[in-house]
Chain A
């Protein structure tokens, strides 16, 4: 934990604000800007409203505690918090992935999963019989095994550099697993990380729309009819689908 706290302190709140161009402090009341963009020691405490909004969405629908810790650590390496702004952990990406695996996506509910199953050519796409939640379960176990075998520690307790080495071993298929493709899993993990960073906050990631702020993406806006012809770049305070709902 101490290590993670240190990492979080390395976010320079001021730099992130400069980058996004928004006056965050006064506006944001959700827990995340307060808790993750930790104020530097000389700065004032987060607004009192921060503790009043409990995010009931932040509990596990699928992962065990151990799995959650691995995913949180791994996605933070894929999309790390730094001077530019929050990373996967601060944005709630592991919660996002947990929630996705609990539903249709995790069960491959709308994919063709009937047999017979044959290994195919690369150009024919995924031909396995395992569903995404099963792939995660198996691959996370293997990540833990590989970490233990190589470093005698749990993945989540490795140094960031060691975690990168483990992830790279998966990315480059250097891990020998018979049931799932290590690189296939890694690719899915990267995809799911980016989804968690940039999907509407309603899914549990992109907390406070801070993922969108990184990219100056304005989220859910009704019209750019006055923007489309503009030469100058337009910085627009993002809005979410939740904002849309409150307009009705």
Chain B
């Protein structure tokens, strides 16, 4: 029998960006909140020895221990799903701050087109433009409705940026300027900017959560400026310059005295009866004890996979059925299309590639969303094109021209030579959902407690291959204009392969929308089928854009926090 604790107002499952934002907003309003986090405590002082590529980037110091829990994957239903035994395609965060500790900090707002993708596509191109099996749908909210929450996230995190030159065309209004100026520009960024402008494109500095200047946010939290040390992605920030829940929202919640964090607490079930949650059941992993935490409101704020998995394990909500397209939990799993980049080799120019910041770079939206005419192309949406200066660490960065051997004397010479002489124009393509891409419980493989693992059924489609080829021609053009002596573009997107790292932008599974028939949560991220359960995160995305997800996750978390407060005050009921 589980030990039963006294009831609290709100229990949140996972203390990363979602959990931290919910906790800070609710405790400021006077609610008592308990945060259950299965990992350990994390503080800025942990990162004294953080400039260690092997430990953090290649041995995954900050990531979830896969020996205890992983996911399984198959390309389609005909294949047996097998466990992701070691990290590759994406990295799962762990501990206080979650993925908000090891992220790079690119902080975009999804564009107005994203939130109304189905209706705008039909309006502009007709319904036939949507290929069979593609399950794009509107999000049940508009950009204008979400704008105040985007702003709130940006002000809290101190995002450094400048106006997107295409904002007007995209109808993406801003109520406030970015709170801090754009990041510094490196020579590679200047080269990209000049080339892109010559090609009549509209480059802008990537909105960055690595502070360009010291900043004090509306909660009174002061942080130092980024030092461009080159250890950001997969690392924690030893300066606290990178916005991370640990140095922003969590201390605000703790200061109220109303937020209690319990680390090493792994939630296994949401307890519910009659369409209402009564609390959660968790295990203190240090002792193995099972504990029940009753609560008026349950908020899931873990990563995409665990939000979805907890609902399926708890038999809460209607599981998605890929054969009929009915049901919602596990629906519209999407990812990111990371192909179409062009690498340029410069014989006579060296760049200070070792320096950089996680979100230092330029971005171009001319071929993103519906910013260009899709009448004559065989794909929908698009992707961002970028140049990055993240800090190239030496183990993982060995660029060599095609045809160079992969080992031996020639490899050594070329990899040393081009380490400082190669730049890449990168792309980040949208990933649109299909009826047969989904998440469910694996029938075979189990976690450390004996619970089924999350199973991913996903592959790239013709849409993704067409998009990659299109973006490749654009990035190649820019790189040529930048003056590289040799340009190599990656045009062909193969099948989705879980082994090479691509992106930690997994989305969907508990998607938001305007109707319980097609979505799991409403536009406050409140479950249609359980009104006192809110599910926060990129799990709510009905598709993934040509942008990084965190800015939109943050906005949705603020929106959910407002909804939870409304729900609490009203004493029940669906908010929409």
Q: Which A residues are closer than 8 A to B by beta carbons?
A: 77-80, 82, 84, 87, 104-105, 108-114, 116, 118, 120-127, 164, 167, 190, 193-195, 197-200, 202-203, 211-212, 214-225, 227-231, 233-234, 241, 244-245
Cα of A218 to Cα of B419 in the assembled complex, Å: 13
Residue with the greatest number of chain B CB neighbours at <10 A, chosen from A125, A194, A212, A219? A125
Q: In the complex, which of the residues A110, A112, A224, A229 contacts B230, with contact meaning CB atoms closer than 8 Å? A: A224
Contacts of A109 in B (CB 8 A): 67
Cα of A210 to Cα of B86 in the assembled complex, Å: 30
* B window 26-63: CB within 8 A of A: 48-49, 51-54, 58-60
> By the criterion CB–CB under 8 Å, are B352 and A111 in contact?
no
> By the criterion CB–CB under 8 Å, are A125 and B88 in contact?
yes
Q: Which residue of A lies closest to B230 (CB)?
A: A224
Q: In the complex, which of the residues B53, B73, B406, B445 contacts A114, with contact meaning CB atoms closer than 8 Å? A: B445
Whether, in the assembled complex, B222 has its beta carbon less than 8 Å from a beta carbon of chain A, the answer is: no
Query: Provided the pairs A111-B86, A221-B229 are in contact, do residues A122 and B65 lie with their beta carbons within 8 angstroms?
Result: no
Whether, in the assembled complex, B398 has its beta carbon less than 8 Å from a beta carbon of chain A, the answer is: yes
CB distance from A100 to the nearest CB of B (A): 9
Q: Which residue of B lies closest to A224 (CB)?
A: B355
Query: Provided the pairs A224-B230, A229-B186 are in contact, do residues A125 and B394 lie with their beta carbons within 8 angstroms?
Result: no
Query: Provided the pairs A116-B444, A199-B395, A224-B229 are in contact, do residues A111 and B51 lie with their beta carbons within 8 angstroms?
Result: no
> By the criterion CB–CB under 8 Å, are A228 and B389 in contact?
yes
> By the criterion CB–CB under 8 Å, are A198 and B53 in contact?
yes
Residue with the greatest number of chain B CB neighbours at <10 A, chosen from A105, A109, A190, A221? A221
Q: In the complex, which of the residues B85, B227, B350 contacts A127, with contact meaning CB atoms closer than 8 Å? A: B85
Q: In the complex, which of the residues B54, B356, B496 contacts A195, with contact meaning CB atoms closer than 8 Å? A: B54
Contacts of A164 in B (CB 8 A): 408
> By the criterion CB–CB under 8 Å, are A233 and B350 in contact?
yes
Contacts of B352 in A (CB 8 A): 224, 227-228, 230, 233-234
Q: In the complex, which of the residues A118, A228, A241 contacts B80, with contact meaning CB atoms closer than 8 Å? A: A118
> By the criterion CB–CB under 8 Å, are B79 and A105 in contact?
no
- What would 22 A/B residue contacts be, using CB atoms closer than 8 Å? A78-B407, A82-B413, A108-B86, A112-B66, A112-B84, A112-B86, A113-B67, A114-B446, A125-B499, A127-B82, A193-B407, A198-B53, A200-B52, A200-B53, A214-B416, A217-B393, A220-B51, A221-B229, A222-B227, A225-B225, A230-B352, A244-B49
> By the criterion CB–CB under 8 Å, are B52 and A79 in contact?
no
> By the criterion CB–CB under 8 Å, are A241 and B498 in contact?
no
Cα of A214 to Cα of B99 in the assembled complex, Å: 34
CB distance from A221 to the nearest CB of B (A): 7
> By the criterion CB–CB under 8 Å, are B84 and A125 in contact?
yes
CB distance from A75 to the nearest CB of B (A): 10
Whether, in the assembled complex, B128 has its beta carbon less than 8 Å from a beta carbon of chain A, the answer is: no
* B window 177-192: CB within 8 A of A: 184-187
CB distance from B494 to the nearest CB of A (A): 8
CB distance from A106 to the nearest CB of B (A): 12
The 7 closest A-B pairs by CB, nearest first: A224-B355, A223-B227, A198-B394, A233-B350, A199-B54, A220-B51, A123-B497
> By the criterion CB–CB under 8 Å, are B413 and A84 in contact?
yes
Cα of A197 to Cα of B396 in the assembled complex, Å: 11
> By the criterion CB–CB under 8 Å, are A194 and B498 in contact?
no
Whether, in the assembled complex, B124 has its beta carbon less than 8 Å from a beta carbon of chain A, the answer is: no
Cα of A228 to Cα of B228 in the assembled complex, Å: 7
Cα of A126 to Cα of B82 in the assembled complex, Å: 10
Cα of A221 to Cα of B354 in the assembled complex, Å: 10
Interface on chain A toward B: helix, strand, loop, or mixed SS? Answer: loop
Query: Provided the pairs A127-B85, A198-B53 are in contact, do residues A229 and B394 lie with their beta carbons within 8 angstroms?
Result: no
Whether, in the assembled complex, B74 has its beta carbon less than 8 Å from a beta carbon of chain A, the answer is: yes
> By the criterion CB–CB under 8 Å, are B395 and A194 in contact?
yes
Q: Which B residues are closer than 8 A to A by beta carbons?
A: 48-49, 51-54, 58-60, 65-67, 69-70, 73-75, 79-80, 82-86, 88, 184-187, 225, 227-230, 350-352, 354-356, 360, 389, 393-395, 398, 406-409, 411-413, 416, 419-420, 444-446, 495-499
Query: Provided the pairs A80-B409, A123-B499 are in contact, do residues A112 and B70 lie with their beta carbons within 8 angstroms?
Result: yes
Known pairs A127-B82, A199-B395, A221-B230 / 18 extra A-B pairs, C-beta < 8 Å:
A87-B412, A110-B59, A111-B86, A112-B69, A113-B67, A118-B80, A118-B82, A124-B82, A125-B498, A194-B395, A194-B398, A195-B54, A197-B395, A198-B395, A224-B354, A225-B184, A228-B355, A233-B420
CB distance from A115 to the nearest CB of B (A): 9
> By the criterion CB–CB under 8 Å, are B408 and A233 in contact?
no
Contacts of B82 in A (CB 8 A): 118, 120, 124-125, 127
Contacts of B446 in A (CB 8 A): 114
Q: Which residue of B lies closest to A126 (CB)?
A: B85
Contacts of A108 in B (CB 8 A): 67, 85-86
CB distance from B446 to the nearest CB of A (A): 7
CB distance from B181 to the nearest CB of A (A): 14
Contacts of A190 in B (CB 8 A): 406-407
Cα of A104 to Cα of B66 in the assembled complex, Å: 13
Cα of A227 to Cα of B188 in the assembled complex, Å: 13
Cα of A125 to Cα of B86 in the assembled complex, Å: 8
Cα of A205 to Cα of B421 in the assembled complex, Å: 25
Contacts of A228 in B (CB 8 A): 184, 186, 228, 352, 355-356, 360, 389
Q: Which residue of A lies closest to B60 (CB)?
A: A110
> By the criterion CB–CB under 8 Å, are B67 and A222 in contact?
no
Q: In the complex, which of the residues A84, A110, A195 contacts B412, with contact meaning CB atoms closer than 8 Å? A: A84
Residue with the greatest number of chain A CB neighbours at <10 A, chosen from B86, B184, B398, B409? B409
Cα of A230 to Cα of B225 in the assembled complex, Å: 19
Q: Which residue of B lies closest to A214 (CB)?
A: B416
Contacts of B49 in A (CB 8 A): 241, 244-245
> By the criterion CB–CB under 8 Å, are B409 and A82 in contact?
yes
> By the criterion CB–CB under 8 Å, are B67 and A217 in contact?
no
CB distance from B478 to the nearest CB of A (A): 20
Cα of A225 to Cα of B354 in the assembled complex, Å: 12
CB distance from B444 to the nearest CB of A (A): 7
Q: In the complex, which of the residues A84, A104, A215 contacts B394, with contact meaning CB atoms closer than 8 Å? A: A215
> By the criterion CB–CB under 8 Å, are B497 and A78 in contact?
no
Contacts of B499 in A (CB 8 A): 123, 125-126
> By the criterion CB–CB under 8 Å, are A241 and B86 in contact?
no
Cα of A26 to Cα of B514 in the assembled complex, Å: 71
Query: Provided the pairs A228-B389, A230-B352 are in contact, do residues A80 and B406 lie with their beta carbons within 8 angstroms?
Result: no
Contacts of A211 in B (CB 8 A): 394
Contacts of B496 in A (CB 8 A): 123
> By the criterion CB–CB under 8 Å, are B395 and A195 in contact?
yes
Cα of A221 to Cα of B444 in the assembled complex, Å: 47
